[in-house]
Amino acid sequence: MEKIKNIDIYELGSPEEKSSPWSSTILILKLTSSNGNIGFGEAPTTLMTLPVKESLREVSRIFQDKNYFNIEKNLREYYRNAFYLSKSIEETAALSAFEIASWDLIGKDLGAPIYNLIGGQFNDKIKAYSNGWYSDCVEPEDFVNKAKALVNKGYKAFKFDPFGNNYDKISNDGLRKAVDIVGSMRDALGEDVDLLIECHGRFSTKYAIRVGEALDEFNPMFIEEPIHPEMELGLYEFKKYVNTPIALGERLLNKEDFARYISSGMVDIIQPDITNSKGILEAKKIAAIAESFGTPVAFHNAFGPVQSAATVNVDYAIPNFIIQESFEESWPEWKKKLFSGYGVNNGYFELSGKPGLGITVDEKLLEKSRVEGMEPLGNEPPWVVSGTYSKPS
């Protein structure tokens, strides 16, 4: 029986991260098994690097010396001890990293990629949509010019937040500006390119409806988190007036949360984040719940390379996959080079097919990229793409 022998936690980062300041640091987990194999996991950071890092240490108390094949048993053991797990993203993030790293070890022990262990390859092509690409975009032409450069690289889908510094409410000028940006993107890129509207959960219900009604004419693929997440009942009112499908899920932490949203009709496309909703097996369960209601899955994926590799392994295996988020084009060089074995080619994700996650680490770069401390608090909220949100005067 193989066990988890050594546990190492890496906080990595650099000031080069510009387009996605929430991932200016990433947390990588390295598990070494008693047979010498190594498995990697990742936990998300969004101005909470240090709390998640500490939670990784707490979760390690449960996983140390455990048989990593016993994923259900190990997760349940932590659940039994963690009184606030259902509401704590710090805990679920840490737990997800251990779960993902366990699967990486299992795949390496068995000589199989993870997707072959969770149902096999259902999807041959994993279409990516680019995010993080629109740093410093303010005017419609800024968005169009940057998007066109990525169209030339093969991308046919773009997510973006056109709302500037409007928060909770949106002014008439702010709404006109958003319409100009989305309309210009549609005119310039045509109907064959998917436009995905990011709201970042910033609006109250009344103003979210104004936004949704105004953007319907441009036929977005979805509108993401149009309403403040704690005001979820407003989604029912939103759907009365807006035709664009609602997508959400990066702030939901488990299959039970998703079951409530899906079964009650609050969401049209779900976006679980594998690194904060308990990992790969839970993702497969969430996708199965969604499949039973005819709901597509578009996993949230905004942090680092281990998250991407883990997510695409699940994408390969689920029948209701629709599209996959990608920040790869916007990463600094160190993050692009940290792991090899997967990538985005001509607008589609590809995995190596090697055992486990299918990725290989650059050990020297892993050590060189170590940092200490939390992401700095700047002039913009940490959840926006840099240069797109200025504080109101």
CA-based radius of gyration for the chain: 20
pLDDT band at 393 (very low <50, low <70, confident <90, very high): very low
Q: Which residue type is seen at 379?
A: N
224-255, pLDDT tens digit by residue?
999 999 999 999 999 999 999 999 999 999 99
Task: Walk me through the domains of the chain, giving residue ranges and CATH numbers.
Answer: 4-111 (3.30.390.10), 116-360 (3.20.20.120)
| φ, ψ dihedrals at 239, nearest 5° | -70, -20
Q: What angle do CA 176, 251, 361 make, to 5 degrees?
A: 105
Q: How many CA atoms lie within 13 A of 341 on its CB side?
A: 21
Q: At 55, which amino acid appears?
A: S
Provide the pLDDT for residue 345.
Answer: 97
- Could you tell me the CA-to-CA distances from 186 to 140, 181, 219, 307 in Å, in that order? 11, 9, 9, 30
Average confidence (pLDDT) over 135-151: 97
Question: Tokens 């022990």 identify what position?
Answer: 109
pLDDT of 15 above 90: no
Average pLDDT in the chain: 95
- Judge whether residue 105 has pLDDT over 90: yes
- d(CA 375, CA 23) in angstroms, rounded, equals 8
In this prediction, residues 377-385 reach a mean pLDDT of 81
pLDDT in tens, 290-334: 999 999 999 999 999 999 999 999 999 999 999 999 999 999 999
- Contact between residue 164 and residue 390 where contact means Cβ atoms under 8 Å apart: yes
Which residues lie closer than 8 Å to 391 by C-beta, 6 or more apart? 165, 379, 380
Q: From CA 184, how far away is CA 179, in angstroms rounded? A: 8
Enumerate the H helices of 152-292 as residue ranges.
Answer: 172-189, 205-215, 234-241, 255-263, 279-292
Q: Which of 15-24, 215-224, 310-319 has the lowest mean pLDDT?
A: 15-24
Q: Which of 14-23, 117-126, 324-333, 366-375 has the lowest mean pLDDT?
A: 14-23
Assigned token pair, 87: 């509401």
The pLDDT of residue 391 is above 60: no
- Specify the pLDDT at position 383: 84
d(CA 220, CA 156): 13
Residue pair 156/192 in contact by the 8 Å Cβ criterion: yes
Per the DSSP assignment, residues forming a β-bridge with 129 are 325
Provide the 8-state DSSP code for 113: B
Which residues belong to the active site?
A: 200, 300
